[in-house]
Amino acid sequence: MSARMLPLLAGPDLRWIGALTDVVVRGAGRPWRLALDEIEAGAWMPDARTVPARRLSAAVGALRRIAGGRPYRASLARRARSLVLGVPALTADDRTARLAAAGVVLDLSSREVEQLLWADLPRERPIELSAGRPPEPEVAALANVGLVQRALRRAHSIELRVRGDAGPLLRAAAARGLLVTVSLDGDQTVLDIVGPLALCHGTAVYGRALGTLVPLLGACVDFELRLRAEARGQAYELVVASPVLLPEAPTPRPWKLVDALARDLEQRGFVVDRAPPPLANGQALACADLRVHRPGGAVALELVGFWTSAYLARKLARYAAVGVPHVVLCVDAARACEDDDPPPGACVVRFDRRIDADALAQLLA
């Protein structure tokens, strides 16, 4: 199967992105619908029709994320519609009078009422440029995030190779409950991730969770993402490799569920190692979320979101390969990707939103 690079935005695209941004800047304060109509008409740049549709759509999506406006005063907009809409206003005087009457009730001017009527709908929200004109590289970087996320939603499997510190990606993948097998290959950390289309159900939720990893790639100096997918019966591979124009990676946030579990266990007298270092043996790599000390020996705790019986078996095999005999897997009861039971002999605790620390403490005692 031949692989090809996923077409992303780069330096040569900044010219038309600048012209596209000018359309949005000119429409500041007006409904997004007007800017979108102008973009669709294709007169915003002499050779606008030559811009690939997918890249154009990604850039427009990025601009809407930057300047899309807030869905503010949604309840007030619904109230305004209830006062203004109804029997057709057949004359301009009738229309003006109805807007004025609604304005009296809402304590707004007629013009404000008219602007408010549909302001809770995305296309009718006013364009907001609170930070001024967005730079072209910022628009391109955000558009690239959208393009990669779109490709990931159609993937059966993903291989992500990272040189350097892969810790933020590993913790983020765990916090999102992704089906990930981690290994070492020389100086690279390899994440083999199950794609959304390999699942029987929950593909949309899983795909959104997977897409949230893409902004974190901005912190990776050297990476290669290879995804395998199928369209119209034809299998294909797409590759994204650094350097890529991406936004600055967001600041990593602690996983609240793990912090809450550690705190609950400490309150019950256990000594807990938070964020224990990964353990490796050859290519095998195991990453526990917590290590709990007890008289019979330390126990590795790992929280698992999406799961199958085979996935849990592979995870336990990695712990065995790195010499960790005592492992407890806390699995999300709502995210089983199949109707499988956990593998035989596995020590598994199911949870729904929050882990029952009392039940887990009894298991660890």
Give exposure, 316-338, as e/b (b: 16+ Cβ within 10 Å). bebbebbebebbbbbbbeebbbe
- pLDDT for res 40: 92
**How is residue 228 written in tokens?**
């395998």
Give the DSSP H/E element, type plus range, for residue 137: helix 136-152
CATH class of the region 256-364:
alpha beta
Give per-residue pLDDT as tens, 264-313: 888 888 888 887 888 888 878 888 888 888 877 888 888 888 888 888 88
Query: Can you give the pLDDT at residue 144?
Result: 96
Q: What is the pLDDT of residue 255?
A: 77
Judged by DSSP in three states, 25 sits in helix
What element of type H or E holds 142?
Answer: helix 136-152
Centroid of chain to Cα 82: 36
Quote the pTM value: 0.78
pLDDT tens profile 188-204: 889 999 888 887 666 88
Domain ranges, ordered by start, for the chain:
3-70+124-140, 74-119, 153-241, 256-364
User: The domain at 153-241 falls in which architecture?
Assistant: 2-Layer Sandwich (3.30)
Q: Cα separation of 343 and 362, whole Å? A: 21
| Per-residue pLDDT, 225 | 94
Give residue 87's pLDDT: 82
Residues in the chain where the model's pLDDT stays below 50: none
